Amino acid sequence: MKLGILSIDTVNGDDQERRRFSKRTIWMVVIIVLAIIAVIVPVTLVLTRSKAKEKRTIKFLNGLDIEPSNEYPISDFIVVDSKDDQYVSHEEDVPVQVVENEHERDFLKELRAIKAKMDEKMRGDLVKFEDEVVRNNIEYKQDEKTCLGDDLKDTCVQHGQVKVITSYEASCVLKLINILKEEFRPKLEVEILILFKKYCANYEIRYYNHDWFLKFYYTFRRDVIRMEIHNRDPSKKYKKGYHTRLAEDYIYGQTKSVDTSSLINGFQGSEIIKTPLPFEVESDSIDLRDGGYIGEFLSYRLNKCKSCWMVAASIVYDAFVTLKTGRRLTHSAQQIWDCAPERSSPELLETSLGYFKDHAICLRGKYPFIGEKRRCRDRMCAKLSIVKRIVKISESEAERHLKTNGPFMVEFYIYGLENVYTGGIYKGKLSIGSLISAVVVGLGTDVNTREKYWMLKPIIEVRSNWGEGGYVKILYGHIDDGKSIFDNAYGFSG
């Protein structure tokens, strides 16, 4: 028994010793870990701060963050400190925050030097701009408030004539020229700005801040230059009027310089031909491209469908939703292809369009376009359609429908439209050829012949510069061998 008892005592003693050793080991590990943390954390903080300061950048109005260099595209910048994410703009009466090291001092010194150089050039260009404004017998004032004091509208336009151009507008124009990296041509820019102000005054377009002005003016300026180059080309059989889609979605990063060389070189006197503005056309003109109601599609994806009516239908539905709800959404053409009732003739278009009335339509991102018919998967589409009726549209009712319910789609036969149409008003065959689908987006009047026409977006594969910017004009009331584009014309009603 003694031996047994002694044996038990010995075992218990070893166990206690192991416990004491384990505790000492744990404490040593804890002390080592704390020592490592005490060393690493301060070093990490120093490196992080240094890295944050090295990442100090210039944030431009076009949304780009770039490292400091000797050349910047525009003068309007905001200093961004990634450490505290505080923005300091030179337009605000706020001093630049105090810097703590040589790196930041050198950075701000370089920044101020570049800005001073750019401001000097800007001041010189503003003087040239003002001289050109005065040469056009237009007053040059500080801002639009002076126009209100002179009993003018805030657009500074009276009886169709521009009375005042402001230094604010001039500065915005110059900043845009810098964004585009174009040469500043005072005569050209002042003439375009005059046309732009007339356009905005007529359509009651307001640019409430710098961003909106740049958006509107860039789009207008781009289209005017393209139109003038087109109108000066003797090979063109028709002339374009001033038309632009100012309310389209616009991203700074999409700005591209427009080649003005063929517009400027070799011309004396006025740099802009006085082509009639769109609001000089009869008041019955309507174009739903204004406001960005008409979505784009990639025509090269259409090679797998003979008559891609579902693409036209989805464009019409997108515009209808935008018009009724104010929300600009892009819905799935693939869902329509997969799920809507198939048909053997254009006369059954109304039946196929009935799918929009009875089913929810997915957004394109959720149900993307594949380019071939597949199994219907519309159960994943949740929101109900806002379409209440599918309506047959006659030519006499078409204008009212455009104004109240948006664009509508048509189907008709035409021979080789993508090859025979080069622009102008189409008056050819509508009774033979291939069946095509198209979206009717507007009604207009030719500025030269005064002929009325329907503006259509045909859903066919064409070149990027085809027709009238991808559209075709068809003579109002045109009938060929008893056939019209309104034989199969349908739209949505809420």
pLDDT at 485: 94
Domain's final residue, options 249, 270, 291: 270
Task: Compute the Cα dihedral for 20, 26, 29, 35 and give only its sign.
Answer: negative
Q: Which domain holds residue 322?
A: 299-493
CA 318/CA 307 separation, integer angstroms: 19
pLDDT at 185: 87
pLDDT per residue as tens digits for the range 385-405: 889 999 999 999 999 999 889
Identify whether residues 333 and 391 lie together within a single domain: yes
pLDDT at 262: 56
Q: Is the pLDDT of residue 409 over 90?
A: yes
**Helical axes 102-135 vs 167-180, angle rounded to 10°:** 120
Identify whether residues 319 and 235 lie together within a single domain: no
The pLDDT of 253-257, averaged and rounded, is: 54
For every residue of 29-61, DSSP letters joined together read HHHHHHHHHHHHHHHHHHHHHHHHHHT-EEEET
In terms of average pLDDT, the best of 43-52, 69-78, 223-232 is 223-232
**How does the average pLDDT of the chain come out, rounded?**
72
Identify whether residues 226 and 352 lie together within a single domain: no
Token pair belonging to 372:
């071939």
In terms of average pLDDT, the best of 43-57, 94-108, 150-164, 365-379 is 365-379
User: Please, which pLDDT band fits residue 240 given cuts at 50, 70 and 90?
Assistant: low
CATH code of the domain in which 436 resides: 3.90.70.10
CA 53/CA 56 separation, integer angstroms: 5
Give domain status of residue 287, yes or no: no
pLDDT per residue as tens digits for the range 258-300: 555 555 544 434 445 554 444 443 445 787 876 667 877 655 5
Provide the domain count of the chain: 2
Give domain status of residue 355, yes or no: yes
Identify whether residues 325 and 373 lie together within a single domain: yes
CA 153/CA 419 separation, integer angstroms: 48
CA 241/CA 238 separation, integer angstroms: 10
Give domain status of residue 376, yes or no: yes
pLDDT at 474: 94
pLDDT at 477: 93
Identify whether residues 264 and 401 lie together within a single domain: no
Identify whether residues 200 and 311 lie together within a single domain: no
Higher pLDDT: 91 or 20? It is 20
Higher pLDDT: 342 or 130? It is 130
pLDDT per residue as tens digits for the range 158-209: 877 888 888 888 888 988 888 787 888 888 899 889 888 888 877 677 776 7
pLDDT at 452: 92
Identify whether residues 402 and 261 lie together within a single domain: no
Identify whether residues 194 and 306 lie together within a single domain: no
Give domain status of residue 387, yes or no: yes
Cα 82 to the center of its chain, rounded Å: 29
Domain's final residue, options 220, 250, 270: 270
Identify whether residues 173 and 211 lie together within a single domain: yes
For every residue of 248-304, DSSP letters joined together read S---GGG------HHHHTT--S-SS--PPPGGGS-TT-EETTTTT-S----GGGGGG
Identify whether residues 264 and 129 lie together within a single domain: yes
Identify whether residues 205 and 314 lie together within a single domain: no
Strands 389-392 and 286-287: unpaired
Identify whether residues 428 and 352 lie together within a single domain: yes
Domain's final residue, options 270, 286, 311: 270
Question: Residue 360 half-sphere exposure, CB side, CA atoms within 13 Å?
Answer: 12
Give domain status of residue 9, yes or no: no
For every residue of 69-107, DSSP letters joined together read -S--S-S-EEEE-TTT--EEETTSS-PPPPP-SHHHHHH
Give domain status of residue 277, yes or no: no
The β-bridge partners of 409 are: 439, 490
Give domain status of residue 49, yes or no: no
